[in-house]
Structures are given as C-alpha cells and as structure tokens.
Chains A and B, each alone.
Chain A
Amino acid sequence: MSTLEIKDLHVSIDTEQGTKEILKGVSLTIRTGETHAIMGPNGSGKSTLASTIAGHPRYTVTSGSITLDGEDVLEMSVDERARAGVFLAMQYPVEVPGVTMTNFLRTAKTAIDGQAPALRTWTKDVKAAMEQLRIDADFAQRNVNEGFSGGEKKRVEILQLELFKPKFAVLDETDSGLDVDALKVVSEGVNRAHAEGNMGTLLITHYTRILRYIKPDFVHVFVDGQVVEEGGPELADRLEEEGYDRYAKGAGSAVAAPVAAPAQ
C-alpha cells in the first residue's frame, strides 16, 4: 500500500507578463487501488498539476509539498520520480528521433527496475501488451512516437503504463483526441493495470465520457487552480448534466465550458 500525498500545493509559471500563479493551494491524497478523477474546465490548472507531479521544469512550486510514502517528491529529479514509481501519461507525447520503441521500452524498463528485464519474457510481455492495445507489431521498430497519429501516441502511453507498472499513474487528458473505439481500448488498458492491485490512478479529464469506461472512486472538481468540490462517482454524473457553469459563477470567474464530449 502506497500513498501519494499533495498538500497545499502552489505552483507558478514564468510568462512574458511576469510570474503567474496557476495552482493556488491543492491538497489531494491518493492510495494504492484508488482512482481519482480530476475534472475541470480548460485553463483550470489540471494539466499543471500533472506536469508538476512529474517534475516538468516549466513549473515552479512556490509552496506546499508532494510526498510518496513520506519521501519528498519535489526533491527528486524527473527520472528519479519515474524510478520511484510515478508515471505520467502525457497529453502530448513527444516524438523522439533516432530511438526505436523496442530500444526505448527496454532502456526505460531497465532504468525503472534497476536491472535489465529477462529478455525472453520481456519480448513476450511487450508483444502481448501491444496486441491488447491493438498496436501494430511494426511499431516496435519505429522511432518513439515518430509519425504516430494522436490516437496511436495515446495507446503507446498506456502500453508503457502497463509495462512499467508504476505505483501511481497520472493520466493527463488521455481521452482527448480519441474516437470511441480507441477510448475503449485505452480504458481497458488502464483498467488492466489497475486490476493488478498495486496502482493508484489520477485521471485528469475535461469530459465525462472516459468515466463510462474507467470508474472513479473519487471526483474532484478543479476551478481556477483549486479544488472547489469533491465527491464520489455521482458527482461526475451531475457534471454531465449541469456542466461547470455554476462553479464558474460561484468563483466569480468567466471560465465556462461544456462538459459533454463533442460528437465524434
């Protein structure tokens, strides 16, 4: 049983207009086996939270803490966080020239586990995971994300989630840009990883539709860098009905966005 604990987190970024505070005191506790959905309108700071957990250099933590089983995550470099068991499925996975998927997956697995995976079982595991996510076998010889479609990139993120077996998975709008079939395939991958029982999940999304496939235990509504409401799965249903408008009005902000996914 592991715990990822975020306490009163304040995060800012440097912009041309000066420093801008994005997260204004976020507290969140995720335990192994739990799925937390973070929902909120565009610009509410959801993705900032995801990137900050992973250690993206663009974001500066001005106060608060993130700990993993009591260890200070903010003190760790990006690669140390990954090796400690934090995985970020990125909203915009990057194309990496010159590195084949095969080489990349093996190198990352070796770094995360501290030893090279047994070659025979590893090759089999990769092949099986790719098949389940309906990723063509020839992707193994292609460079990381190079020329992949948006949906293919997201599947490859979940492929890594399944192979690297992190303690905590942060899924940053993994559902965006996916058609219904791809959304199902990707969700099944997340559910498989979750079913192994050793992972906590932080699911960041703008829309409720992914929650039809991945059932959250807790829902947190994010507006203007803060959690404004928390509840169980029934809160997601209410958001589907009502949208984010009432929070935006309550916060005195102009932020408003529809919740329902646009028709595919």
Chain B
Amino acid sequence: MTAEATTEKARIGAPSIAGFTEEGEQLVASKVDRHHSHGVQVMASRAERLTSHDVADFAFPNGREEEWRFTPVRELANLLSDAPTDGDVLTVSVEAPEAFVLRTLHAGEAPRGATLVPADRAAVVASANTEEALFIQIPANAELDEPVRVVLTGKGAGRRSNSHHVIEAGENSRAVVILEHDGSADHNGNVEVFVRGGAQLTVVSVQLWEDDAKHLAQHDAEVAKDAVYKHIAVTLGGKIIRMNSNVRFAGEGAEAELLGLYFADAGQHLEHRSFVDHNVANCKSNVLYKGALQGKGAHTVWVGDVLIQKQAEGTDSYEKNQNLVLTDGCRADSVPNLEIETGLIEGAGHASATGRFDDQHLFYLMARGIPEDVARRLVVRGFLNEIIQQIKVPALEERLTEAVERELAAGDN
C-alpha cells in the first residue's frame, strides 16, 4: 500500500462556500478566514507581497521568509548578489519564422517593466543587471505555424548570468515561444509576457541544464480580454532551479493555464511556484504541476497561489499538484493556497497528491507479465505525459519524452 501517500482534495464552487455570504461582503469586511491555506500558518494576502524595481527594497533572504523557506538560500549567494553578467557566460540564439520582430529594450523602455515587477531578490537583481532585454514581438493577427525558439546556453558552472526577455503577442495573434536552457551557469532569468486582446500564446520554458547549473526565474504574464495564455515549465536538469510563474488579467474572458513537469534526481532541488491573480471578472485559470522524484536528496517544491479578488466575479479556477515518489530518500513539498474574496464565482478548487511507486505496484504489473523496466517506464511516462502532450510541438514533445526516458534509465543504475 502507499504508506506515505497523502491525498487532499477540495473543490468548492459558489455559492455553497461555507461562511460566505452571497456577496462575500461580510468576509472581506471582517477579514476573517478569507485566506484558505494548508501546511502554513495564516499569513497576509498574497496580494500584499512586496514587488519593486529597486534592488534596495530586497534584502538578502535568510531562508526563514515565507517565499524562501523551502529554498537552499545559502547556496545562492552568487545569484542573489547585485552583480553583472560574467562576460560571455550565456549565448542566446533565436530560431524563428519570419513573422515576428526581434529587438532589445533598455530599462524603462515600454513595455519593459510594465508587467514584470520583481517579487524577490533574485528577480530584482536579474533585471537591474540586464541593460538590454531581448524583445520578441509577434505582430497583431500573425499566426505562426512554427514556434519561436530561443536557446540559452550556459558556458560555465558558477559563472553569473542575468537576462530579461520580453514577449509580446499582438492582438489576435497565435504563437508558441520556446525557451530552452542548457549547459551550465548561475543564471537569473526573468521573462515578461504580454498577451494582447484575443491572442493565443504558449510559452514553454525547458530546463535541460547540466547537473551543476543554478537557475532562478520570474515569469510574469498579463493576459488581456479574450486572450489565452499557456505557460509550461519543464524542468529536468540543474542543481537548483526555482521558477515563479505568475499571471494576472487585463480584461474579461481571458484564460490562463500554468503547467509544469519536473523530474528530480539525487541532489536536485527543483522548485516551482505559481501565482494566479484573478484581478478581473469572468476569467478562467487552470494550474497543473506534476513531478517525479528518485534518488537520495531529490527535493521538489510546489507552491501554488490563487487569489480571487473581490471584483473578480464569475472566476473559474482550479489548481493541482501531483508528485510520484519513485525511491526512498526523496522529499516533495506541496502547498496549494487559495484566497477567495468573493462568493460570486463559477468555481475554485485545489488539490495536492503525493504517492509512491513501490514494490506493490511493481509486483502487480509484473504479475501481469510486464518486465520490471517496462513497468517503471509505464508508470512514469503515463504520469508525466499529461503535461508533455500539452506542448503540441511534436519535435519538442519527442525530445522531452526521450529526456524523461533517460532520467528513468539513470535511475535504474
């Protein structure tokens, strides 16, 4: 049996939320119980967290802060210092169809900085130390059949790198932008995304770093009226990865989907945080992160915040994290946080489940004639495929499926 498995599920839909009046007025007024959280003490609203473009506003974290408490901050001194990029440590290459504009934006040049306001020390020093931000602009009404592919290659472990990318999908455009990270570096990378009215944009961030790379990231998106945004984080490589994927809305009828897949091996710390700010009425969001862990000291973290503001009536939101623990000695932290300030919503739910793949599963599958290695692959592939198949770029899906197979093969040794 799954001795260490914990399952926790909740699905609540207006107007049957206990303690809420029809308008939600009473709760907001009294500020009682409006924060719904698991595994942490009741704290201030997610909306009240500091954001700023000024490095001086963010002290070095000591690891006891709410937003840093799972992270090995002592190993991040280089990344958290206000330091420039170390020469040519990062090469950036862009492959893309013709229908887009590539240029750079200096600090303060619109639209840079309008959506992404740094929310922690890592993000603020990354942007402050990026003079020219790469700007990928998909023109209004353009429909790109091929993805825009940005490959960032680190050329030295422990060498500091900063970047800030701005992606703008013009009105009614349709595009996929893939950011691929490989090689090694101490990389601080911010990504700022504008999804204009009616546009459909998918951003895929793939972390295929070497084992000694560290990567901190803040990816912020603003999604306008009737636009659809999908962010997919795929993290397989790297020693310490911490990625924040955040979204808010700029018009009604918008949809956001934040997806993630991670596979942690011995000694890897893979942390993903998501924040959906339902600041506008009648928008939809779905968050799903799935992770596999194997090997001693493999550590994954998922913290999913959803805030449904008082004015965001008609919101429909759901978030879920699932982890599959393949061996002893792993740790999966999973914290879904849901704050609801109005009862007039379509739905708001969260779920978190961490289960083990153990000898009983193996015996069951083998007792049906399936060899051991096939049985393991069957389970992990099936589990992670749900995310991979959302990418809808066949060549990348195939490469990631192979990368997952390699992770599994490494675990067999």
Residues of A within 8 A of B (CB): 54-57, 77-79, 81-83, 88, 90, 93-100, 103-104, 107-108, 111-112, 143-144, 160, 164
Contacts and interface: CB of A to CB of B under 8 A. Distances in A.
Given A54-B367, A77-B366, A78-B366, A97 B372 contact: no
Contacts of A83: 369
B68 interface: no
B357 interface: yes
Contacts of A81: 367
Nearest to A85: B369
B378 A79 contact: no
Nearest to A112: B369
B83 interface: no
B368 A97 contact: no
Given A57-B363, A107-B378, A97 B383 contact: yes
Given A103-B378, A104-B378, A97 B324 contact: yes
B368 A108 contact: yes
Most buried by B among A57, A104, A143: A104
Nearest to B290: A98
Question: Interface on chain B toward A: helix, strand, loop, or mixed SS?
Answer: helix
Given A90-B364, A104-B378, A108-B368, 5 more contacts: A94-B361, A97-B355, A112-B368, A143-B382, A164-B368
Among all A-B residue pairs, the 3 with the closest Cβ atoms: A98-B383, A82-B369, A108-B368
Contacts of A96: 361, 364-365, 379
B367 A78 contact: yes
Given A79-B370, A107-B370, A111-B371, A56 B382 contact: no
Given A98-B380, A100-B382, A103-B378, A160 B361 contact: no
A191 B152 CA distance: 63
B351 to A, nearest CB: 13
26 contacts: A78-B363, A78-B366, A78-B367, A79-B366, A79-B369, A79-B370, A79-B372, A88-B367, A90-B364, A94-B364, A96-B364, A97-B383, A98-B380, A98-B382, A99-B365, A99-B378, A99-B383, A100-B382, A103-B378, A107-B370, A108-B365, A108-B368, A108-B369, A112-B368, A144-B364, A164-B368
A112 to B, nearest CB: 4
Classify chain B's interface size. 20 to 34
B360 interface: yes
Interface in B344-390: 355, 357, 359-361, 363-372, 374, 378-384
Nearest to B359: A57
Contacts of A99: 365, 378-379, 382-383
B324 A98 contact: yes
Contacts of A107: 370, 374, 378
B260 to A, nearest CB: 16
A83 B366 CA distance: 10
Nearest to B2: A95
Interface string B70-85: 0000000000000000
Contacts of B379: 96-99
A56 B378 contact: no
A164 B360 CA distance: 21
Contacts of B357: 97
Contacts of A100: 382
A81 B371 CA distance: 11
A95 B379 CA distance: 11
A193 to B, nearest CB: 15
A103 B383 CA distance: 12
A237 to B, nearest CB: 33
A155 B6 CA distance: 26
Nearest to A86: B367
